[in-house]
Structure 1
Amino acid sequence: MKTLIKLVCIGFLLVCLAAIRFFETSLFYDPLLNFFHSDYLKGVTPEFHFGKLVGYTILRFLLNTAISLLILYVAFKDSSVLKFSALLYTIVFVALISVFCIMLLQVEQIDNFMPLFYVRRFLIQPVMVILLLPAFYYYKRQHD
């Protein structure tokens, strides 16, 4: 029964992550969404408000991070996993948001938009939880 409750909680949190993705156009300011869905290699970069775009990217990262940390906590019930994950998320966030801001400020000089695409994607999608869940599971199995 305890496992069922854990799975239901994780399922609900995964639905929350999916809802953020599903409603991204109405929840977040991101003119790069349509830009990267179109033929961006031939297109002109869209006009955007730098502060607003960065702010909404940070908000989305924080929402995804909070839900991802909850998933990891529910899955493992281990504060050391939570602390390590929070530290990792913080380090990755500081590095990627810095690179993202620099790229946005230099967007007119960019010849290849793929680095911007991938940095932005890593910031707005819950990629790290997909990596950390199996990593911690494997670690726990090896050390228990």
Structure 2
Amino acid sequence: MIKKILRNKGRFFLIVVSLLFLVLVRTFESQLFYDPFLAFFKSNYQNQTLPEYDTLKLFLGVLSRYFLNTFFSLVLIYLIFKERKMLLFSVWLYLILFGFLIVTFFSILILIESPNYLVLFYVRRFLIQPLFLVLFVPAFYYQKMMK
């Protein structure tokens, strides 16, 4: 399968471009998205209080970043595997995981008086980084090889 991708130059180019867009989303995160937690989690946050944030703007920032990462991740999944069923399964997984993670993230922020910052950090990380791509591609590859 990898040899097939490398032989098709157009497909390989689109994979590289999609990866580049994922890198650009990460590179320009502070300019593109409202997220007061970027600076907070880069500092020694364990002994600090949570920064002030606008809930609606934070939700929209996380949503737009998740959407962009998901879009480019789905493009990559399709380009790598070329299977519509796998793409549709991925779309459903991304939607379900977003619902679960966004509810968890804002529940931790709003309902818990002094949240565990490490849990908040990792839930947020799954929302703003394309970590599901790192999990899905090897899993789908393994499944395809087992068929």
Quickly name the TM-score band, shorter chain normalised: over 0.9
Corresponding residue of 1:125: 129
Q: Which runs of 5+ in 1 are unaligned?
A: none
User: TM-score, normalised to structure 2's length?
Assistant: 0.92
Residues 15-67 of structure 1, C-alpha deviation per residue, up to 9 Å, x if partnerless?
Answer: 00000000000000000000000111111211110110011101100110011
- Which ranges of structure 2 fall in alignment gaps of 5 or more residues? 1-5
Question: Which of 92, 98, 103 is matched with 1:98 structurally?
Answer: 103
Please give the residue correspondences for 1:1-144 in structure 2 after superposition, counting only pairs within 5 Å: 2-106=7-111, 109-143=113-147
Residues 6 and 74, structure 1, Cα contact 8 Å, conserved in 2? yes
Across the two proteins, how many residue pairs are aligned to each other?
142
- Structure 1-normalised TM-score? 0.94
Identity between Structure 1 and Structure 2 (%): 42
2:108 and 2:115 in contact (8 A); partners too? no
After the TM superposition, list the runs of 4 or more consecutive aligned residues in structure 1 that deviate by more than 4 angstroms: none
Judge conservation of contact 1:50–1:104 (CA < 8 Å) in 2: no
CA RMSD of aligned residues (A): 1.3
